[in-house]
Structure 1
Amino acid sequence: MREIVFDTETTGLDPKTGDRLVEIGCIEMVNRVTTGVTFHAYFNPDRDMPEAAEAVHGLSAAFLSDKPRFHERAGELLEFLGDASLVAHNASFDFGFLNAELAIAELEPVGLDRMVDTIAIAKRRHPGAKLSLDALCTRYGIDRSHRVKHGALLDAELLAQLYVELTGGRQIGLELAAEAGDETVFVASPSQAKRERPFREPRPHSAPDQELARHRAFIDRIEGAIWADRALGK
């Protein structure tokens, strides 16, 4: 199963009021394991960068001025996304900006049926808890010490780890041994392989005659019991 975990950075909160997408970072996962394949791009928004937004992600208008426009890399991005499910934190926000940019580029929107929202998953698992990416990383012990400012690719990497934890976590004591196509193979870790346990013969067990007689009496009280023949050993 192929999934794409992604994050975006923008000039503000609402594409309907002229805010634009300025960065996208995507992480490919197959069977909930990152493959090392990524897509990352900055975009020139053709507008100013509000101070509040720059304070969050550190992307200035000057830095973005020589970057390509979204439509110039839209085809490459869509090819990378393919038909995979798209995982994001507060996904409606990221989908809103992605589809707004696709509309400006006169391209088809990404279907909302592909949306996987990790906030919705976290809300079901931890009702009443803080649901920010920082708070959930702290809850699951995910190292975010290198996260000084928001960055689309960095946040997508953190989210990929969080997504695995929210959907069941890594299997303790198992290590990834090999990956061939879509089939992921796991083997016991070296620490498990070295662990020796004494062999024990299976203990025979059969019901005593007294229990069999009580069971037979119970079955006889049930009219048309389908277990009657079995109780007689037939």
Structure 2
Amino acid sequence: MSHFLQCELTRYQRTAIYVAVTATVSLLAALYFFAIIGRFDHSPGSAMFRQYNAVFSLALTVALCVIAIHGSVIYARFIVADYIGNHRIQLYSYPGGRRQLFLAKNAAYTLTIASASAAGLLLAVTIFFLSETIAPIVDSTEGISWANVLASGVSVVILAVSVALIAGAIGIWRQSVITAIVSVIVVIAVLGNGVASSLNSAVWLTWLITAAGIAVALILLVGQAGKIRTDEVL
């Protein structure tokens, strides 16, 4: 499996850069968008936009959606497409085992997307808060908990990858690239509000959602790996 993993990782070298840029741009854009709203809108309804924790939580939710959707598109291109129709015949002919190859593909995908997303989010947070020390936009009397920032960021990365894996597994099951992309949009639509609320008030709830996402993703992938191992193509 280690040989498969090394080969698969080489496929993501350029993609990792795109993922990191996507994560950075999406989080930075969301941070400045919500910060500017709080700066210029002084109505009682926009009070939450004058708190760093609220701004960061909302921006992270936007980044989660973008990373998950982008990740699903990548999964559909690099993995789902390989297991549709006649494409899988060539994969099944590789020595080493179908199951091992499938798991290696998913391991390479997970490592690449998670690490690139984490790097991108870290860069965005660094840029935003450095700019806030020089020319503050958020008019907040309260600081931000860096422990909360770290915990929230890690949970969002893991959840985004888990959601993309779930959508990808559904796409392979349904033999459709489009289904994988539609599935991730549906899952994000269901989870979006809950994640935003939990990031702002109860990070433990976000981790609970993340744990559930990991469990579902693992169950689907292990089940799909077993199905691929016994799949008949002729």
Q: TM-score, normalized by length of structure 1? A: 0.27
- Bigger radius of gyration, 1 or 2? 1
The structure that is helix-richer by fraction is 2
The structure that is strand-richer by fraction is 1
- Which structure has more RCO (C-alpha within 8 Å, separation ≥ 6)? 2
